[in-house]
Amino acid sequence: MFIIPDLLDAAQCQRIRQLLGQARFIDGRQSAGPGSQKVKNNLQGDLADPHIQEVQKLVHDRLTSNAQYRMMAVPRIVRPITVNRYDEGMYYGDHLDHPLLAGEPPARGDVSTTIFLSSPDEYDGGELVINSLANEAVTIKLPAGHAVCYPAGTLHRVNTVTRGSRLAAVTVAESRIQDISKREIFSDLSQLTRWVQDVAAGSPQERLANKVYNNLMRRWCKP
């Protein structure tokens, strides 16, 4: 689990809010599986709406070009963005994201991402609650433009909104590294390699770090 601060800057957040103010939303249960439909009570941006399509592209482009996301999630396929809206009284109970993602090509659901589009002071409730791998609940409510990524196989929910409206964009990715523990090791090594490149460019240590990084990529990463 990791947070990406300021994935969207203030101008991008403002543009998205303008677009969503004109967008069409539908019952979010239409995209949920049979089990999740019973605990899902929200609205979802209509994929046929051009305003939603523009938001999808903007957020998807920012996420997939983000260096931290590429380093930590090691994404192979990132599914299209879904925009969710929770008005007063709406919620999404405990659920798991789909393990197999529809689309072409088919993809496995490894890493889920929530991008907050509303400021915390615009709504009460609506916290994202994620069960960590240690089975401890982590409560998250971030500023607009910030994102949180977490394993798609963890149980999570959105608490009931008691005031205002909560807007968020979500997506799920297939990682090039399926195993969670290996993905953590690889992302740690990626950060360490970048640090060595910055402070010891041209040194034997940089060459060694690059060698280990590339050989681990050959062994663990799916093309």
DSSP 45-67: E-TT-HHHHHHHHHHHHHHHT-H
Looking at the predicted structure, is the pLDDT value of residue 222 above 90?
Answer: no
Residue with token string 């990529």: 217
Alpha carbons within 13 angstroms on the beta-carbon side of residue 54 total: 15
| Domain parsing of the chain, residue ranges | 2-175, 180-220
Query: pTM above the 0.85 mark?
Result: yes
Tokens at residue 22, please?
A: 């004109």
The whole-number pLDDT of residue 103 equals 78
Over residues 156-212, the pLDDT tens digits come to 999 999 999 999 999 999 999 999 899 989 889 988 998 999 999 999 999 999 999
**Cβ neighbour number for residue 62 with a 10 Å cutoff:** 20
Identify the CATH class of 2-175. mainly beta
Nearest-angstrom CA–CA distance, 157 and 152: 12
Question: Can you tell me the distance from the alpha carbon of 39 to that of 51, in angstroms, rounded to the nearest whole number?
Answer: 27
CB 138 within 8 A of CB 148: no
